[in-house]
Amino acid sequence: MFTPDDVPDLSHRVAIVTGGNRSIGLETTYMLLRKNCNVWIASRSQSGFEEAKQTLSKRNDIDDEMIQRLHFHSLDLGEMKKAQLSGQNFVKNNPSRLDIVIANAGVSLQRPDELGPDGYELTMQTNHLGHFSFITSLLPLLEKTAREHGEARVVITSSDAHAFAKEGIDFDSLTKSKPHLGIRGLSDAFARYGASKLANMLFARELDKRWAAPLRKQGVMVSADCVHPGTILNTGLGGTGSEWGIPSFIGTITRASAMFIGFSSLEGAMTQVWVATTPDLENEDHGKYFVPVTNWRGRYMASKESPPDSKWGSDDELAAKLWEFSEDALVKAGGQRI
């Protein structure tokens, strides 16, 4: 069984957790902090960061020294050029090392009739295109860290919901808004969330193939993997449902049922923290998908590698196409080619 106490000592290490200010991301931050890591919460609001700091500082096992190792880095995944600049600024202004990146931030069930400022539908924009722009700008620092300190890891939070993307990724539809709200709109929004989580998985696979595996061949231990955190019903994901005409009491009941069904946010953070820190994966292949293992009561026990639940999750052609599409989208949005 893997518990927060089993996270190895992370003294001197530096981690970024995107969306580390609440829910699964906050618990990820918590586990890294209490094992002596220097943690940067990359999120879009300083006030959200201050709230997270307050929450953590009230915990019995978090002391002042730990809180001093917690920092804010401004990141809005909603625009590609801004997300790339955010990564470039981190490299310019922050410590000379970066050992761990956990790409945890995410949205779901965005309105299908709206596009983001770069012209892409909002779920793929935030969950994949924003992270693609941010993470690719951090690669030189990750490589330097691995050369100087032994290793560096990227972990991307995907989901079992990747299996909702039954037809893979429909690139043409990403720049089209869909007029439907109501039940039809909700079903479109689920499919778009699934496609974005499939993109998270394919990005981890392709990043490992293009960037990490060639470096590992030279003895530079970098890696990229992705995870499903489990199902956690009382996070902010999915909003209130009111924009879909769903009565608000249904959201309240769903969130309340989290006391009995599904994981806590802390359990949800375990797999990504394990993949980011365990020595067990040091000499393994990467670009993989990891999931939680539960006991008979559905409680988190451990994490393990798993084949994706859909054929698209291991489709190398689709992964390469997604990389090219994302890089072109970044350049069209005014960002720099990788």
Ligand X SMILES: NC(=O)c1ccc[n+]([C@@H]2O[C@H](COP(=O)([O-])OP(=O)(O)OC[C@H]3O[C@@H](n4cnc5c(N)ncnc54)[C@H](OP(=O)(O)O)[C@@H]3O)[C@@H](O)[C@H]2O)c1
Residues that bind ligand X (CB under 6 A): 19, 21-25, 43-45, 48, 75-78, 104-107, 126, 157, 159, 228-229, 231-232, 235-237
Q: Least distance to ligand X from the beta carbon of 282, Å?
A: 25
> For residues 236 and 298, which CB has a smaller minimum distance to ligand X in the complex?
236
Instruction: Compare residues 205 and 216 and give the one whose CB is closer to ligand X.
Output: 205
CB of 201 to ligand X, least distance (A): 11
Q: What angle do CA 306, 77, 115 make, to 5 degrees?
A: 100
Pairing of strands 300-305, 289-294: antiparallel
By beta-carbon proximity to ligand X, the closer residue of 104 and 136 is 104
Minimum gap (Å) between residue 298 Cβ and ligand X: 13
Nearest to residue 198, comparing CAs of 230, 159, 237? 159
Q: Is-contact 254 233, C-beta < 8 A?
A: yes
- CB of 44 or CB of 147, closer to ligand X: 44
43-52 burial by CB neighbour count: b if 16+ within 10 A, else e?
bbeeebbeeb
* CB 231, min distance to ligand X, A: 4
Give the position of tokens 């949800």: 268
Name the residue among 243, 303, 224 with its Cα closest to residue 270. 303
Residue 98: CB minimum distance to ligand X, A: 18
Q: What is the DSSP letter of 212?
A: I
Q: Which is nearer to ligand X, 41 or 66 (CB)?
A: 41
C-beta nearest to ligand X: residue: 106
Rounded to a whole number of angstroms, the minimum distance from the CB of residue 193 to ligand X is 7
Helix or strand run (H / E) with residue 97: none
- Alpha-carbon distance of 63 to 145, in angstroms, equals 27
Give the length of the chain: 338
Instruction: Decide whether 143 or 243 has the Cβ nearer to ligand X.
Output: 243
